[in-house]
């Protein structure tokens, strides 16, 4: 476990598409560090960069997004870094590994015990599924329409909502929208499940916010698993 005091910071620069054993090198490195007990590691994806090959890679041009830089960084004791470095050296055939001296001034790692769960109960019932279709570029009072709708649903105490972003689609206007750098109006679908009464009230609110889109309903059967509180906790609550 990482302790307060002197330590080593390791930074690894690789390409996003670099493979190892038919998988991502980034995933392989993170998995290795996890198995070796490294306190923590973070991988970040750059939006632009170039390396020893002297080729610029950027998200602004789709053809140049293939080899975007990935930065993996972790901080550990010198002993732990010495332990993992030979394998990392072997794994990174195309990239850069940098090791720096650093000083850890605080380690905040408060463990939160998982609450004990009692046996689960099953809740079943008939509900309504509402799907709302719109474009990603649709707005409501200056913000994305799908974000505004989710906020309104939450304020109306709707049980939950999930937003899905499509990669390809077309609507009533017949225009095809495809995932890519130049696409600004990909399909968006919001899925909501709740009682018929609550969704009926929500529909009135949502219709006033939409200028172009579709709202559809389906009858669904809800199966929900709920973990009951353990007996000890229940007795305290009643005492």
Write the pLDDT tens digit of every residue in 54-113.
Answer: 555 454 444 444 567 889 999 999 999 999 999 999 999 888 999 999 998 877 766 666
Nearest-5° Cα angle at 168, 164 to 169: 90
Ramachandran area for residue 131 (φ above 0: left; ψ -120 to 50: alpha; else beta): beta
Closest CA to 133 of 121, 145, 115, 119: 145
The pLDDT of residue 64: 46
C-alpha span between 82 and 87 (Å, rounded)? 10
- For residue 78, what are its two tokens? 């010198």
Contacts of 158 (CB under 8 A, 6+ apart): 192, 194, 198, 199, 202
Helix (H) or strand (E) holding 151: helix 145-155
The pLDDT of residue 61: 45
The pLDDT of residue 78: 93
The pLDDT of residue 35: 92
Closest CA to 203 of 215, 190, 187: 215
Mean pLDDT per 10-residue interval, the chain, length 239 residues: 88 86 88 92 76 53 60 93 94 91 81 59 78 90 91 88 81 51 72 92 92 90 65 45
Contacts of 237 (CB under 8 A, 6+ apart): 229
The pLDDT of residue 232: 44
The pLDDT of residue 221: 86
Contacts of 207 (CB under 8 A, 6+ apart): 215
The pLDDT of residue 150: 92
The pLDDT of residue 234: 44
The pLDDT of residue 33: 94
The pLDDT of residue 207: 93
The pLDDT of residue 229: 53
């Amino acid at each position: 476990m990482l302790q307060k005091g002197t330590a080593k910071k390791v930074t690894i620069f690789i390409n996003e598409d670099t493979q190892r054993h038919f998988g991502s090198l980034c995933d392989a490195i993170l998995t290795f560090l996890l198995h070796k007990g490294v306190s923590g590691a973070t991988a970040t994806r750059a939006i632009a960069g170039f390396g020893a090959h002297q080729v610029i890679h950027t998200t602004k041009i789709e053809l140049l997004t293939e080899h975007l830089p990935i930065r993996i960084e972790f901080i550990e004791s010198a002993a732990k870094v010495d332990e993992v470095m030979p394998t990392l050296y072997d794994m990174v055939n195309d990239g850069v590994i940098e090791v720096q001296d650093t000083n850890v001034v605080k380690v905040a790692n408060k463990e939160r015990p998982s609450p004990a769960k009692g046996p689960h109960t099953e809740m079943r019932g008939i509900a309504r599924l509402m799907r709302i279709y719109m474009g990603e570029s649709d707005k409501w009072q200056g913000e994305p329409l799908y974000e505004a709708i989710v906020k309104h649903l939450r304020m109306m105490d709707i049980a939950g909502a999930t937003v899905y972003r499509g990669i390809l689609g077309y609507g009533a206007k017949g225009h095809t929208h495809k995932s890519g750098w130049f696409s600004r109006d990909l399909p968006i679908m919001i899925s909501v499940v709740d009682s018929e009464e609550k969704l009926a009230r929500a529909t009135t609110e949502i219709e006033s916010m939409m200028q172009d889109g579709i709202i559809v309903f389906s009858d669904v059967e809800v199966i929900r698993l709920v973990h009951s509180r353990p007996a000890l906790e229940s007795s305290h609550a009643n005492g």
